[in-house]
Amino acid sequence: MKIGKAIVAGLAGGLAMTVLAWVARQTGLTLNAEMMLGTMTGNAPGMTTWMIGFVMHLMLSALIALLYAVGFERVTHRAGVGVGLAFAVVHIIIGGIVMGMIPGVHPMIPEQMPAPGPFLINMGGAFVAFFVAEHLMFGAIVGALYGPVSSRNAQAASSIA
């Protein structure tokens, strides 16, 4: 498994998600995952809290990309945009369910921040669509940047074909 490639791919995917969310905020979509993560520490919203959340988001992105890499190496024996998109569907399902659990661990929900609900459904349909699109983008980036797999099973499969 190419741990370094997976981490870099995850960081790139996480950064792309943050940039896309920033663009969306400029158009009025108020999604701010970094602030939600940062305020989980109990800090009041602000630039420092956003930066904490940003670092948390990048760390989670790198860890999730490592899970993608395990899947590339041990399940599909290949990587790429298409495989990354397929893995993103699983990521979306798990992430969407986790979003529904956020109020149980977030100290500011629901008193100071609204509960996002599973798949961000409490925030409206545009947020659900954005959640799905961001995670599909993440999967495509991770799949593309990871490159060819290095597992023995993949090497054996390619030598047979």
What's the domain count of the chain? 1
What are the tens digits of pLDDT across the range 18-75? Answer: 999 999 999 988 789 999 999 999 999 999 999 999 999 999 999 999 999 999 999 9
Question: What domain range includes position 7?
Answer: 3-160
121, 124, 128, 133 alpha-carbon torsion, rounded to 10° = -160
Residue 104 has pLDDT above 60, yes or no: yes
pTM score of the predicted model: 0.90
pLDDT score at 154: 52
What pLDDT is attached to residue 8? 98
* Token code pair at residue 154: 């993949």
Q: Which bin fits 44, alpha (ψ -120 to 50), beta or left (φ > 0)?
A: beta
Mean pLDDT in residue range 122-127: 93
Average pLDDT, the chain: 92
Rounded Cα distance, 38 and 150, in Å: 36
